[in-house]
Amino acid sequence: MKSILNRIKRGFYADSVALMRIAQELQKSGIVASLMIGTPSNKALLKESGLLAKEGEGARPDDLIIAVKGKKAEAALELAEKLLSSGPAGPSSLPGEIDGANLALISVPGEFAATEARRALERGLNVMMFSDNVPVKEEVALKDLAAAKGLLMMGPDCGTALIGGVPLAFANAVPRGDVGIVSASGTGLQEVSTLLARMGKGVSHGIGVGGRDLSQEVGGRMTLAALDALEADPATKRIIVISKPPAPSVAKKIVARAKRSRKPVVLCLLGAKGSAVRTLEGAAGFKSRTHFKVKAKGRIAGLFCGGTLCAEAEIILADHGLRPNAYRLVDLGDDKYTRGRPHPMIEPALRTEHIEKALKDKKVGVLLLDVVIGYGAHADPAGLIASAVVKSRKLIIASVTGTEDDPQVYSKQVKTLKSAGVLVADSNAAAARLAALALA
């Protein structure tokens, strides 16, 4: 019988990405593991996942719960303690008195994130908030405070940024250049910046604004501030704005601001009515060279790690006249799939499970995948995909978002996929077009 054990570390919280990586390390020994701060919502997730024991029920919002299940649960707890002790403990989002620091990256539970962000802004620091589950009223208040102080408030739920050539959170190794990017999407920023890099172009700054910034409630506050900042930046010669469809009233603000800009602005508002640029590769000005003639029967199963990449693929399939019953695309990074589990960009095992199911489904004729590499991502996502599909006779199409300078190396990931029989397109948009044409 498998044991379910919880251990509580009182008054302790740490970077959520670090906690997910520790859980990933524990799972290598064949157990199920999750490390979460003891908020009511997190305890509910642990209970739903079958990982909450009696000890965990008594955790407070400022406690850390180490939850493990398996035959080696006791040993896993000890390993977790060892891994936690080897890194920085406690709240570590602010750089304190580090000389020259001008940005704080905040990755603490949502209940604490707004307080930490306010502290940083009051100290005159720009903020990148990786944390989510921050009330929208807090987001508005923080962005208004940032605007009053002439600072950037990136987020909440900002997963990617490139500031002064420095990649933050999930980002890629791209060269410096004269293109400024404003993005409400992490993987959208990654796709555009890496496509630019593959054309020999670089990024001055990539400013993430958080997925809610262009909502009616937030009103595009940080998108407008980022446009102002990039227009004033001497190193930026042109600007790209990336987003899923904004609220109509906010879209008008963004369009009007773009028209007033002294620098060229490309608006890529995926799925928005009347948007001149309908794809991320179009925003980058990238010309795909992928030409395959393939045919398949059955529907398309799209299994994505990037929410915006999933949205872009869906737009392209619809533009090619495919009916909704001809495809089913899933964003596996959505909260409903990642409850109590690491994001699939960090730990792709979740997608591997879905790939195996799709390969067994006789109604599926095409498997469509994104492979996102870079800092923070899994060390070899292509290798895991290759192992799962190597003996399949289905048509499998993928693209790789990344560069040669990324830790996983773009060309190596492409080679691994091709060796397993996967057709690799030049971009996510090209992969979706190829899938659509295969069913034509």
Lowest mean pLDDT among 97-101, 212-216, 398-402: 97-101
Lowest mean pLDDT among 186-200, 334-348, 360-374: 334-348
Burial of 412 (0-12, 13-18, 19+ CB in 10 A): middle
Indicate the burial class of 359 (C-beta count within 10 angstroms; 0-12, 13-18, 19 or more): middle
Q: Given this model, what pLDDT does residue 1 score?
A: 46
CA distance 51 to 70: 10
Fold of 103-284: Rossmann fold (3.40.50)
Q: Is the predicted pLDDT of residue 94 greater than 60, yes or no? A: no
CATH topology of domain 299-438: Rossmann fold (3.40.50)
The model's pTM is: 0.84
Structure tokens at 107: 């990755």
Q: Which residues contact 162 (CB under 8 A, 6 or more apart)?
A: 168, 171, 174, 181, 189, 193, 203, 205, 206
Distance CA 288, CA 178 (A): 22
If one compares 285 and 98, the residue with the highest pLDDT of the two is 285
* Confidence band for 17, pLDDT divided at 50, 70 and 90: low
Angle at 24 between CA 78 and CA 59, to 5 degrees: 55
Q: pLDDT of 29-40, one tens digit each?
A: 888 888 988 888
Ranges 71-85, 121-135, 170-184, 267-281: which has the least confidence:
267-281
**Number of H-type helices and E-type strands within the chain:** 16, 17
What percent of the chain clears pLDDT 90, i.e. is strictly above it? 70
Q: Please report the pLDDT score of residue 90 as a whole number.
A: 39
Nearest Cα residue to 268 out of 237, 243, 238: 243
DSSP, collapsed to helix, strand or coil, labels residue 356 as helix
Burial class (CB in 10 A: 0-12, 13-18, 19+), 120: buried
The C-alpha atoms of residue 72 and residue 50 are separated, in whole angstroms, by 16
